[in-house]
Structure 1
Amino acid sequence: MAFSIFPRFQALQWTLGRSAYRAFAAAVGVPMSDPIPDTPSSEPFAKPPSEGVKISKLDNGFTVTSLETHSPVAKVALLVKAGSRYEAAESLGVTHHLRATAFMATKDRTAFRVSREIDHLGGNLSASSTRDHFIYSAECLREYVEPVVDTLANVSLDPIFQPWEVADQTRLVQLELAMAAQSPHVGIVEDLHKAAFRSTLGNSLYCLPHVVGRINPDQLRSHVSSHFHPDRMVLAGIGVNHDELLKLALASFGRTSTSFHGSDVASKYYGGEIRTETNSDLVHAALVSEGASFVGDDYFAVGVLQRVLGVTPFIKWGSNTASSRVNKAASDAAGGSPAMASGFNAAHSDSGLFGLYVVCYAENAGKVIKAAVGEFASAAMGNISEEEVTRAKNQFKANILMDNEDSSSLLFDIGTQVILRKSYTNAQAAADAVDKVTKDQVIKVAKRIFNGKPTFVARGKLHQTPYLDELR
């Protein structure tokens, strides 16, 4: 249906339909291409100039980065090098409790005031964490960025952790643990990191059940005071003017001059095996070795290798057995019974995990897992075609470019790159880097990873699931 800015003609088109309307216009002698008399012409919409990502640093080491999109909605995030990998041995689970208490009372605001002020602005706040970073996020109309940034500074730099508020949030921690327990995938990922790294990156994103309620305010304050320093922080924004964001950061975060004087403990890969018996008829299993870090030279080659082996379907309800080597091998081995296999890739600041993730019925676990591993072994021996590499690179580039269409994903990408690399590589430059990956590079990383020290974890009824020494 054609659209007209003039209601009477629009109504006529709705009533008559497009073809009838054209016949009517021709009959009354009104050319469709001529402007209507006595109607002011509108100026064409001027597209705002495109701007790249800008990065600035305050005198105290605090970093500000932004991308101006001229959107009416602004998104800002405060990233801190304070993820679970930095937890002290006696305070494991502190970042999980910190997520739950992220917007409680501060030195000059109650939890009610924090919530009410953001609600009044039509904004929202959230807190999340990865193994590397703790993240405060906010979304608001761009004219309210100033009070939102002030709130982020207040909750991150001045929390007081009242004992009764910390105790009240125990129920939220318990709820999140219960929800995580319903997802075998979450358990597999946590077990993989625990077996592979033990500590640092092996520290869980979730509090251990027996520790729930035992994390006290002093432990929360200690974690914040140890890691929440300006030289470990990045304020990232999308839909904001960089100069204005820089002024707001100076006013809100420039008041602290403390610097981190310690040294971060580098992760160390060990490898190992964890088997968890449950009553599930489905077995979830993963076999990995040390992969590439987020800033590693092999990052793009490993991403291409993941797609050569195969990832989850790109078509809704599709089986993905046509283009996924490991999924086809798993499905064939299952003999018609449902089974799924995919490449697994988890990149962190200084290390990563790469390998296979398999889901199948317990009675088929042995042959399905071995079939998927055999396909990985074949790739490591060089059985990869140029056609597979080209397809994998196209998929990888599409993932990169599509993720950057989402402003939340883009914000996290900008913040993560800046806090880890001190610079930003845009999506097109990343896609160009993918294009430069060669088949020889993919085979090289496949051989290195497959021949590396393995880590194997499995959950479900494991009577038919092989042990690690039976897979390599």
Structure 2
Amino acid sequence: MRGIRSLNNLSKRCYAAARPSEALTESYTGYQSSGVSLPAPQNVQVSKLPNGLVIASLENYSPLSSVGVFVKAGSRYESVENQGVAHVLRLAASLTTKGVSAFKLCRGVEALGANLSAALSRETMVYTARCFRDDLDNILEYLVNVTTAQEFRPWEVCDLTSRVIADKDRAKRAPQLGVIEKLHEAAYKNTLSNSLYCPEHMVGKVSPQQLHSFVEDHFTTGRMAVVGLGVKHSDLTELSKRFLSVRSGAGAPLVQATYRGGELRVQNQDSQVHALVVSEGGVAGGTEATAFAVLQKILGVEPHVKRGTGITSKLSQGVTKASAFNASYSDSGLFGVYTISQANVARDAIRVAIAQVGSVAEGTVTEDDITRAKIQAKVDYLLSTESSDGLMAEIGAQALETAAYRPPEAVLQAIDAITREHVVKAARKFMDGKKTMAACGHLINTPFLDEL
């Protein structure tokens, strides 16, 4: 241990101590180049197989490879009879399949030093595997078993009940998650109103037959996209042809979301009131959605600086603990204001927040505000794709929806194309649109929707 400690201090004692009196100006001629040139940077490649399977990849020469299977099988595809099936299906990713047992799946992935996970959104189910590049064939076999060869043994599905309850309990302890779930339930008549979590009346009642039926309807090649990072496109295509052509077809059609507006309130004894007031926003990928994204930056989100106050935020100037809410989906969207306030000032907080959007709708926003907001929107987009997880999510979402990929340069150009008129129009749409409200906490002084 003494030796280790002394080595730790070696660089501090000897750093740049040689030849203090002479300038090191002569060139070093002893170095010989290895002659190995750096590989040229690659672009995202996208192809579509005859069976409808979309394959997208980016060869970034990383020693680690990541492969994600994106499926149009989010909670919005649940029916009234099988609500909660997507939540249970996400948890069932570690269960026995037709090819491997749950024990072998766990031990096999660990033996490779790999990682296998599942995530759920309202629109997609995503299975992601990460491993060393040389183990790609092996980990993809496990990934294919999890996505296309599920078995759903009754006793294993029954054992998932405790995990479903634990997930719901964690969500209940997070007021922000709860109010967002209630917002979607109030805003839509169908599809997007479905919760990410299994409803109380279905806990422990989702059967293996319902899971099998959901998988057969939605886990088809026409509803899937395979995304790879750190892998050659030709290799990923070959592996996908070999493993993921088991269940071909277009699958169940998309049911269009119907926005209706409404109100849901959850009364409890929390001292803080969480309230969301929204109107229908823009569809993902469109100019209107981009305008709402810029408007969101003008109104303000969470501070970008630790313990910051967001002094450029319109909402922070008018209300403490307020931010703009923006969610875009393939056929709809929600935009509005989210306030967190003490119960006795909730009424004023919500009204002031809405008034800030109203001031933008009246044209008070300046060109400097627009420029600053567009810079923030571009920076946030680039930061979101900086990590491998964020980049894979972006590529997967685009590949699944359009079977193509729009590079970052095109996204930045779309943001730059937003004008003051676009932003004002978006704000007016919120002010004039049919409202939806969700609130939770001690609601003694929280206004109802018709009072706003």
TM-score by length of 1: 0.91
Cα distance in 1 between the residues matched to 2:83 and 2:11: 67
Partner of 1:422: 403
* Secondary structure, counterpart of 2:445 in structure 1: coil
**Distance of 1:22 and 1:341 partners within structure 2:** 60
Describe how 1:188-199 pairs up with structure 2 within 5 A.
Answer: 188-199=179-190
| Cα separation, partners in 2 of 1:274 and 1:13, compared to 1, 3 Å | closer
**Residue type of the alignment partner of 1:83:** G
Separation of aligned partners in 2, 1:309 and 1:258: 44
Shift of the 112–370 alpha-carbon distance from structure 1 to 2, 3 Å rule, reads: same
Q: Decide whether the 8 Å contact of 2:315 with 2:353 is kept in 1.
A: yes
**C-alpha contact (below 8 Å) 2:48/2:403 kept by paired residues:** no
Q: Per-residue deviation at 1:463? A: 0.6
1:324 is the counterpart of 2:313: yes
CA gap of 1:438–1:44, structure 2 versus 1, over 3 A, is: farther
Match of 1:334 in 2: none
SS, match of residue 201 in structure 1: helix
Distance in 2, matches of 1:329 and 1:351, equals 29
Distance (whole Å) between structure 2 residues aligned to residue 360 and residue 46 of structure 1: 58
**Partner residue, 1:231:** 222
In structure 1, C-alpha distance between the alignment counterparts of 2:365 and 2:32, rounded to whole Å: 60
- The answer (yes or no) to whether the contact 2:52–2:249 under 8 Å persists in 1 is no
Deviation at 1:14, TM superposition (A): 4.1
Hey, what's the Cα distance between the residues in 1 that align with 2:296 and 2:10? 56
SS at match of 2:146: helix
Whether contact under 8 Å (1:93, 1:211) holds in the other structure is yes
In 2, distance between residues paired with 1:31 and 1:386?
52
Q: Does 1:99 pair with 2:96?
A: no
For structure 1, which segment, 387-396 or 250-259, has the greater mean C-alpha deviation from structure 2 after superposition? 250-259
1:43-442 → structure 2 map (5 Å cutoff): 43=34, 46-260=37-251, 262-320=252-310, 322-330=311-319, 339-442=320-423
1:23 alignment partner in structure 2: 20
Aligned 8 A contact 2:219 2:247 in 1 = no
CA offsets 1:283-336 (integer angstroms, 9 cap, x no match): 00010000012133312111101111111101111111x101012101xxxxxx
Instruction: Give, in whole Å, the separation in 2 of the partners of 1:16 and 1:163.
Output: 66
Distance 2:402 2:334 in 1: 20
Of 50-59 and 159-168, more deviation after overlay is shown by: 50-59
Give the letter aligned to residue 416 of structure 2.
D
Task: Using the TM superposition, give the Cα deviation of residue 345 of structure 1 relative to its aligned residue in structure 2, in angstroms.
Answer: 0.3
CA shift in 2, pair 1:269/1:22, >3 Å: farther
Aligned AA (1:353): L
- Pick aligned residue for 2:432 from 426, 436, 451: 451
User: Do 1:60 and 1:256's aligned partners in 2 also have CA atoms closer than 8 Å?
Assistant: no
Do the aligned partners of 1:13 and 1:21 also contact (CA within 8 Å) in 2?
no
**TM-score using structure 2 length:** 0.95
CA distance in 1, matches of 2:362, 2:371: 19
SS at match of 2:156: helix
* Contact 1:295–1:421 (Cα < 8 Å) also in 2: no
Q: Which residue, out of 446, 449, 452, partners 1:468? A: 449
In structure 1, C-alpha distance between the alignment counterparts of 2:182 and 2:434, rounded to whole Å: 16
Tell me, what secondary structure is at the counterpart of 1:246? Answer: helix
User: Separation in 2 of the partners of 1:399 and 1:258?
Assistant: 37
Q: Is 1:34 aligned with 2:23? A: no
Displacement after TM superposition at 1:11 (Å): 9.6
What is the aligned-residue RMSD (CA, Å)? Answer: 1.7
Q: Distance in 2 between matches of 1:182 and 1:271?
A: 26
CA distance in 2, matches of 1:264, 1:241: 32
Q: 2:44 and 2:213 mapped to 1: Cα distance?
A: 34
- Aligned twin of 1:336: none
**1:4 is matched with which residue?**
none
Shift of 1:17: 4.2
State the SS of the aligned residue for 1:405.
Answer: coil
**1:177–1:206: 8 Å Cα contact kept in structure 2?**
yes
How far residue 263 of structure 1 moved from its aligned partner, in angstroms, is 2.5
CA contact (8 A) 1:93 1:207 kept: yes
CA contact 2:84–2:198 (8 Å) conserved in 1: yes
CA distance in 1, matches of 2:367, 2:250: 50
The CA distance in 2 between the partners of 1:280 and 1:93, in whole Å, is 27
The Cα of 1:256 is off from its aligned counterpart by 3.3
Instruction: Work out the CA distance in 1 between the residues paired with 2:254 and 2:192.
Output: 12
The 2-side partners of 1:166 and 1:300 are apart by 42
List gaps (5 residues or longer) in structure 1: 1-9, 331-338
Q: Secondary structure at the match of 1:289?
A: strand
Does the 8 Å contact 1:295/1:350 carry over to 2?
Answer: no
The answer to whether the 8 A contact 1:174-1:212 is kept is yes
How many percent identity over aligned positions? 39
Deviation at 1:41, TM superposition (A): 2.1
Partners in 2 of 1:242 and 1:16 — Cα distance?
48
Specify whether residues 11 and 216 from structure 1 end up closer, same or farther in structure 2 by C-alpha distance, changes over 3 A only. Answer: closer
> How far apart are residue 266 of structure 1 and its match?
0.3
Deviation by residue 1:350-404 (Cα, 9 ceiling, x = unmatched)? 1110000000111111111111111111111211110100000000000011111
Higher mean displacement: 199-208 or 44-53: 44-53
C-alpha displacement of 1:154: 1.4
Q: C-alpha displacement at 1:47, in angstroms?
A: 2.6
**Structure 2, unaligned runs of 5 or more:** 1-7
* SS at structure 2 position matched to 1:273: strand
Hey, what's the Cα distance between the residues in 1 that align with 2:303 and 2:229?
31
- Residue 283 of structure 2 aligns with an amino acid whose one-letter code is S
Contact 1:401 1:428 in 2 (8 A): no
Instruction: Give 1:268 deviation, angstroms.
Output: 0.6
> Equivalents in 1 of 2:376, 2:354: separation in Å?
22
